[in-house]
């Protein structure tokens, strides 16, 4: 018996592949997806409000490859960034204090 003798039942028609949510999420995080949109409100040809929305959904590694790493430098999200911000603020305050003390010493010498 040859393949020709089997009829249509021997060759099932391919249907859509089953893809679960985890597979879709893995693909999106691996490649990244950008969603962009603008909302603009005008009244009598006067622009009252413009809102620009940009959403980039990706894994941390994919975002870093795209040059996006703001969460590492935001003090609200990174304890390391918060320490650096606090150290910078302390240094600035010490410099201002020294400048004020030096100015006070100059005026008291006069």
Q: SS3 helix, strand, coil % of the chain, rounded to 5?
A: 50, 20, 25
CA atoms within 13 A on the CB side of 81: 10
Contact 32, 62 (CB under 8 A): yes
The more confidently predicted of residues 89 and 106 is: 89
- What is the rounded distance in angstroms from the CA atom of residue 68 to the CA atom of residue 55? 12
pLDDT the model gives residue 96: 93
Q: What is the mean pLDDT of the chain?
A: 79
Show the tokens assigned to 80.
């390391």
The predicted-structure confidence for 44-79, as pLDDT tens digits, reads as follows 888 899 999 888 888 888 888 878 887 787 777 777
Q: What pLDDT score does 95 carry?
A: 94
Comparing 14-23, 26-35, 97-106, which segment has the lowest mean pLDDT? Answer: 14-23
Do 36 and 55 touch, CB atoms closer than 8 A? yes
């Amino acid at each position: 018996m040859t393949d020709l003798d089997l009829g249509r039942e021997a060759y099932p028609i391919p249907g859509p592949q089953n893809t679960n949510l985890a597979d879709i999420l893995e693909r999106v995080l691996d490649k990244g997806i950008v969603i962009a949109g603008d909302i603009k409100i005008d009244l009598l040809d006067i622009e009252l409000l413009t809102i620009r929305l940009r959403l980039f959904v990706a894994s941390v590694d994919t975002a870093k490859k795209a040059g996006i790493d703001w969460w590492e430098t935001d003090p609200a999200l990174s304890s390391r960034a918060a320490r650096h911000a606090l150290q910078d603020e302390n240094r600035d305050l010490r410099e201002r204090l020294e400048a004020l003390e030096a100015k006070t010493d100059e005026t008291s010498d006069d």
